[in-house]
Amino acid sequence: MDFLDFSSYDWNTWSTFLKEHWIVLAIALAVLLLIMRIVKTVLRWAFAAVIVVGIVLYSGYSMDDLKAIGAKVADNVKEEAVDAMVGEISNATFTTNSDGSFTVKTDNLTLTGKPGEREVSVSFRNTPLGTWKIDDTIQALIDQAKQNSKA
């Protein structure tokens, strides 16, 4: 994972930071674990994200650093989803919904769209990834899913 490459950071700086702020980090970890244990909804992930972002900002990272990390994570997830499209194309199913839209499903991926539109909503492992433009890979998945459903 490229976004976790800390090789350019000085270990002495990290060591000093940990020694000086260990109590804050310990409290944050305790609160994080408590929230993860008590709260059982999506809200717990929001709390966890706020705590992690707070610690990161407290440690000296800038918002640009966080945006860069977020972009890399999003790119990695998108790459995984595209790999899943290619790997699961043979078992894709195509369903026409009652409202005229369609759904393409594989083991890990769900695409939802309307015929004639150039975008689909993408979910990977039941996590929405947003709306993507239909490129060659997505079109191939849709076409193969149609063929699979006719067979």
Nearest partner of 145 among 100, 98, 111, judged by Cα = 111
- Put simply, whether the predicted model's pTM sits higher than 0.85 gets the answer no
Instruction: Identify whether residues 93 and 138 lie together within a single domain.
Output: yes
In this prediction, what percent of the chain has a pLDDT beyond 90?
12
Helix (H) or strand (E) holding 119: strand 119-124
- What is the overall mean pLDDT for the chain? 77
Q: How many domains does the chain have?
A: 2
51 and 88 co-located in one domain: no
Q: What is the DSSP string of 51-74?
A: HHHHHHHHTT--HHHHHHHHHHHH
Compute how many other C-beta atoms are within 10 angstroms of the C-beta atom of residue 39: 14
What tens digit of pLDDT does each residue of 31-65 get?
A: 777 777 776 666 666 777 777 777 766 666 566 66
For residues 93 and 141, state if they share a domain.
yes
